[in-house]
Structures are given as structure tokens and as C-alpha cells.
Structure 1
Amino acid sequence: MDKRILHVWQPVTCLEKANVIFAKLTYGNSNETNGLRLELTDGAGNAVEIVYDQWSVTMVDYIWTFRHVNEIKRCDLNRLIDRADFSVLNDSTAQHFYKMENSDFLEWYDQLPWLGSGDVPHVEHHIYMYNDGVFEVIADYEPKFIVKKAGS
């Protein structure tokens, strides 16, 4: 039985649902880029920059890990999406994200040497979907969201 649970998460409402057509990921530790930054842009030109820039003393990095997968390969999420509670949405016409409970990604990560989710119980698996793929991040804090409205 699949124990994974998706929790609907909508920290911003600036992106049009099912119309996020562009994604840009940067990761680094320099004057120009600190941490992981994911920018998602919808068809109208509205964008949100998702910023993981808090230094994790536990992991000695900004995030634990991340991955990108083609949306077709992550069709396994469809069953979980069907069971998710969408009543928590602030705006049903806006894009939303997910947090995964009983995460298989985190379970995989816990098999690696050194610290894991048993040592840091508040770690989270964040999922960001767009038209061409799925970005997933494991971190021990929520990122910042910077809204960039089209034309501003």
C-alpha cells in the first residue's frame, strides 16, 4: 500500500493554474547566487522565484538535495493528487505546490551515509510542478517566494 500523502500547499497565488510554461533553476554559493533558486513563469509572464538561501547548519548546505524529472516519469503522483485535499487552496484558479508526507525521495535520502530525517524530524519534501516537469526539494525550512508580476 502506498503510504505517500500529498498536502496541497499554496504560499503564492500569482501563477495561472496549469499554465506554468517556463522553469529556470540556479544553484550555487557565490556573490551572484546563494543557495537554490527556482523561477517558474506562467503564460501571461507572471513569475515566482522560489529561494532556498538559508544555511542549514545540520547539512552544511542550503538544501539537503533536489531533483528534476520529466512530468511523464512522475505520473505516479497522479493517484496521490487525486486523493489530495484541495479545500485548503486560497485561489482555485492559481497554481499550487505540494509537500509530501511519507516521502519516497526522503526515504531514499535516508539510506545515504550521515544524517537523515530521523535526526532532523522537521525536514520536508517540496514538490513544484510545471508543464514540462517536476522539481523536488528536500530542505529543513520553507523557502522564500518572490512574486514578479508581468509588466512590472
Structure 2
Amino acid sequence: MQVQVQQERFELGAQSDAFAAGVGGAGAIVTFTGVVRDADAGGLVAMEIEHYPAMTQKALEAIAAEAKTRWSLADVLVIHRYGRLVPGERIMMVATAARHRKHAFEAAEFLMDYLKSRAPFWKKEILADGQADWVAAKADDEAALERW
């Protein structure tokens, strides 16, 4: 199990290849990569992501361990960035490996729902007009997490 909270960009192909190389016997590997998007098409200049390192690392390790146990995963990888990111940049990656695809897909989706709604990150959107707003929790994200 690997959890990385980092400011640096990550190389998607290299991370996927390294993860896959370490999960012999798995019949399925699922990866998901989240990208900073501009919901208002041209309005977002950047997203600033803050966190408390020790708290964030511990929380992400706990949820990755829960996923690994609940779905009998061979391995789990969670990468989440912080700092200033611009639209189009990779913000996070989840990879899961299991004997069967259903477990790998469900665990990856569980992790993504957790990262979106409960991971201890605070996000501020910096807009082209100079406005800066903290991103509020969304009801849809909370509902997605409730099913688990």
C-alpha cells in the first residue's frame, strides 16, 4: 500500500507501470486520475490546495487500508497533490489491484468518493476576475460516499 501526498507532478505512465509491476497474481488493475477542471470554461486560473501533512497522510493511509481489507486487494496506490495547480494538471491518482475486476473497480470508486468528500484537503479556486473562493462540499459528493 502506497500513499503519497506531494506538491510535485507525477508521471501517470510511470506510476501505473510501477504499480502493475508489484502486483503479481492480480487479475485486474484499475486506475483513475483526477484533473483540475475549469467548470466555467475560462474562469478558473488556478486551484490552491492546502492540508496538514501529518493529519492528511494518516487519514489517507487509513482509508486505503480499509479499502484493501474490504475488497481483498493485492495493493492500493493513492497519490494526491497540494499547492497551486492550474486547469488540466493532474491532481490525484488512485490505483487498485485485485484478483477480480469487480473488487478493483469498487475499491477504486470508494477511494475516489472518499477523496472527493472526506479527505482533509482545503481547496480554493482563483478566478480570472481575481475572486478567490473556498470550494464547498457538494451534496452529490456526500451522497456518493453514503452508499459505501
Q: TM-score, normalised by structure 1?
A: 0.31
Q: Which has the higher helix share?
A: 2
Using the size of structure 2 for normalisation, the TM-score is 0.31
